[in-house]
Structure 1
Amino acid sequence: MSPRILVAGLGNMFCTDDAFGVSVVAELAQQSWPEGVEVQDFGIRGIHLAYQLLEPYDLVVLIDAVHREGPAGTVYVVEAEPDPEPGPEVSMDAHDLGPDAVLSLVPRLGGTLGRVVVVGCEPGDIGTGIGLTPAVQDAVETAAQLVTDLVIGVKVGEGTS
């Protein structure tokens, strides 16, 4: 059986660089993907992502703007370590669930998570506005290639059974 992989873009397209994940997924959606790979734009619908994660995935790649104190446009790849125990109660505001809250909600809903990798980009501006800043726009292609490499690595490394 082919590994199941979810690539999920997160972010608010009306908040400048917060739209990074959405922009990368738009780029990735133009490619054809092997069987078992789902590429979806979740935008600000964190609660929908939490319910989607109740499905069993071998790998989940979350793409989002992340603050790590680097220069704007810096791309990060972070192996997430979700806690298998239910996290604290989170607000059910579908517009206010960040990746950490989504991951902590999954066990509360009765699910378990496999491997989760975050591909993030340091934003320059997350204020109101449409369109990425130049540094973050330049990082979209790099992030898309990193995601492709992650997915292909899992597909090749695990093969099909």
Structure 2
Amino acid sequence: MFMADDAFGPEVVAAMRGRSLPDGVHIADFGIRGMDLAYRLLDGYDAAVLVDAAPRGREPGTVQVIDPGPMPAASGSARRALPQAHGMDPVQVLALARQLGEGTDRPQPLPRVLVLGCEPSVRMRGDEPDVVVGLSRPVREAVPRAAGMLESLVGELLLDPHRDLSLPVGRTGSPAAGAEPRREVRR
């Protein structure tokens, strides 16, 4: 069980249950199983969307697509990511997946990774005297919107997994100079 707004991802996955997904699209709740996710990212997918609480300084409940861009290749002097059997730090999971993919006779590239994030209202640090269970109101209200965004995003990625998401659907060309690739839905 996730505490407070860290349960956003599992709640969106639950909201997606029962929806019809196109062939080749898989949805899974990895919880804190970072090692399982790292291996799954090497299964030949073109794109992966991680759904998570993502503090970015926005209004609580704001849902946005974050495109961090390609992950740089690990250099020989870079610190190796340690496997976490029961951890889910997305940056470490991606670094581990990259190392696993590069450490084979036939290197496997990572898929394009996007994050569908929701600005949390309540996050637990672990040192609080009381545990908060359940989503805050603005994040709970964002779950159905996020599920709809995820469906739309999947459709766009199926058409072109490398599409520039700073452009509206159906447009081509380059985004405006300095434009940050993201889409937001506010409460």
Residue of structure 2 in register with 1:95 after alignment: 86
What is the Cα deviation at residue 93 of structure 1? Answer: 2.5
1:122 paired with 2:131, answer no
Deviations 1:133-156 (A, max 9, x none): 100001111111111001112334
Residue of structure 2 in register with 1:46 after alignment: 34
Residue of structure 2 in register with 1:138 after alignment: 141
Amino acid at match of 1:67: P
Q: Distance in 1 between matches of 2:159 and 2:109?
A: 24
| Divergent runs of 4+, >3 A | none
Backbone CA RMSD of aligned residues: 1.7
1:88 is paired with a residue whose SS is coil
2:26 is paired with a residue whose SS is strand
Match 2:95 to one of 83, 98, 104: 104
What is the Cα deviation at residue 60 of structure 1? Answer: 0.4
What is the Cα deviation at residue 114 of structure 1? Answer: 2.2
61 and 73 in structure 1: CA distance in 2 versus 1, 3 angstrom threshold: same
Structure richer in helix, relative to its length: 1
Deviations 1:90-143 (A, max 9, x none): 332333331111111111102311221100011111223321010000111111
Residue of structure 2 in register with 1:4 after alignment: none
Whichever of the two has the greater Rg, that structure is: 2
Count of matched residue pairs: 146
Structure 2: which 5+ runs fail to align?
102-107, 125-130, 162-187
Asked whether the equivalents of residues 84 and 107 of structure 1 are also in contact (C-alpha less than 8 Å), the reply is no
Name the TM-score, length of structure 2 as normaliser.
0.72
Q: Distance in 2 between matches of 1:82 and 1:46?
A: 19
Asked whether the equivalents of residues 54 and 106 of structure 1 are also in contact (C-alpha less than 8 Å), the reply is yes
Q: Distance in 2 between matches of 1:90 and 1:156?
A: 33
Q: Distance in 1 between matches of 2:111 and 2:27?
A: 17
Q: Distance in 1 between matches of 2:72 and 2:158?
A: 25
1:48 is paired with a residue whose SS is helix
Residue of structure 2 in register with 1:16 after alignment: 4
Amino acid at match of 1:37: V
Asked whether the equivalents of residues 50 and 113 of structure 2 are also in contact (C-alpha less than 8 Å), the reply is yes
Amino acid at match of 2:145: T
1:61 is paired with a residue whose SS is strand
Quick one: percent identity of the two aligned structures? 43
Asked whether the equivalents of residues 73 and 139 of structure 1 are also in contact (C-alpha less than 8 Å), the reply is yes
Structure 1: which 5+ runs fail to align?
1-12
Name the TM-score, length of structure 1 as normaliser.
0.82
115 and 14 in structure 1: CA distance in 2 versus 1, 3 angstrom threshold: closer
